[in-house]
Structure 1
Amino acid sequence: MTNPPMKFALLPLLALPCAAALADDELTTTIAALDQAVFDSFNRCADPQQLQRHAGYFDPAVEFYHDTGGVTWTREAMLENTRKHACGHYTRERVEGSLQVFPIKDFGAIAQGSHRFCDVATGKCEGLADFTMLWRLHDGQWTITRVLSYGHRAATPTAAGQP
């Protein structure tokens, strides 16, 4: 024999996955917008104001792990590398459809995906890599606390978005 009141009592539990999916969609939208903003400033970091804007997205104690460039342990060291090796030389584009976002309870989110790097002088996007970023939400402010940039390789014309 079934218990009709018990069936109805369980109905709210069925809605939990939908509520979580909606929350995850919001989180993905937020992180995608932040990723775009971080790299809008990166792509224009030859302008000192844009480099300063770029810096604001990173925690002062950010750790940046780069498979070919090594590790930096602070925002200032990371920015110095960016200033020397990227600003005015390369731009970054996230590979369409590659971004995945995973919530971290009571902390923030993990973002991972692929991105390509384009030479400013030639306009060619010849580098491809994978990334993982750890975003922290603290007092209403999102900052990046860890970055992994790895799997750097030459981009095929298709992967680079070129004919």
Structure 2
Amino acid sequence: MPLLALLLFVSRLFAPDIATPDSLHAQILQADRQLFAAAFDTCDAAKAAARTTDDLEFFHDKGGKVASNRSDFQASIAQRCAAQAASGGPVLQRRLLAGSMEVFPLQQDRALQFGRHRFYEVQADGHARLTGEARFVHLWRRVNGQWQVERVISYDHQPAG
């Protein structure tokens, strides 16, 4: 019996660092929040881009392939934020629908995230107007301990109803 305990202990020392499903869900939720807070709430294109891999690909059902790499993504965020600031109009906000997110572990430090989100225009007085809803699939990759989105598929965009 002591030999079995020793083997179990040693196997844990050399086992890959695989998060439990609950832990992985929490990690991806946190990474998702950081990505979208930077892209929408603070309009920090560089910070949003830092949450992506260099080889990011972003596919959108209404716009096709909208980014082929991190630089494309950063430029797209910067352009949207500049236009938003120049117009003095409402700020675009993204909200993950509670209970819609599913996360599945993949090999090689990757995770697959499915979910639904809603988009709002937030006026200067704080009033938020729902503009639409969509589904998404994100492929995340852990790079140097940080989850970065590697592939994005944004689809089934529906206007507010």
Matched, 1:76 2:78: no
Residue identity (%): 30
Higher Cα radius of gyration: 1
The Cα RMSD (Å) is 1.8
Q: Is the 8 A contact 2:116 2:134 kept in 1?
A: yes
Q: CA separation in 2, counterparts of 1:139 and 1:79?
A: 21
| 2:6 matched residue in structure 1 | none
Q: Which residue of 2 aligns with 1:139?
A: 144
What amino acid does structure 1 have at the position aligned with 2:92?
Y
TM-score w.r.t. structure 2 length? 0.74
Q: What's the counterpart of residue 93 of structure 1?
A: 95
**Count, aligned residues:** 132
Matched, 1:34 2:31: yes
In the alignment, structure 1 segments of 5+ residues that lack a partner are: 1-21, 157-163
Aligned partner of 1:151 among 142, 150, 156:
156
Q: 1-side partners of 2:59 and 2:97: how far apart?
A: 20
2:58 corresponds to which of 48, 61, 64? 64
- Cα distance in structure 2, aligned partners of 1:97 and 1:132: 15
Answering whether residue 123 of structure 2 is matched by residue 128 of structure 1, we say: no
TM-score normalised to structure 1 length? 0.74
Tell whether 2:49 aligns with 1:55.
Answer: yes
Unaligned runs of at least 5 residues, structure 2: 1-18, 85-90
- Secondary structure of residue in 2 paired with 1:40: helix
How much does 1:34 deviate?
0.9
The structural deviation recorded for 1:60 is: 1.4
For 1:143 and 1:85, locate their aligned partners in 2 and report how far apart those are by CA, in whole Å.
21
How far apart are the structure 2 equivalents of 1:97 and 1:31? 14
Any runs of at least 4 consecutive aligned residues in structure 1 with deviations exceeding 6 A, and if so which? none
Amino acid of the residue matched to residue 79 of structure 2? Answer: K
**2:160 counterpart letter in structure 1:** A
**Contact 1:42–1:91, Cα closer than 8 Å, also in 2:** no
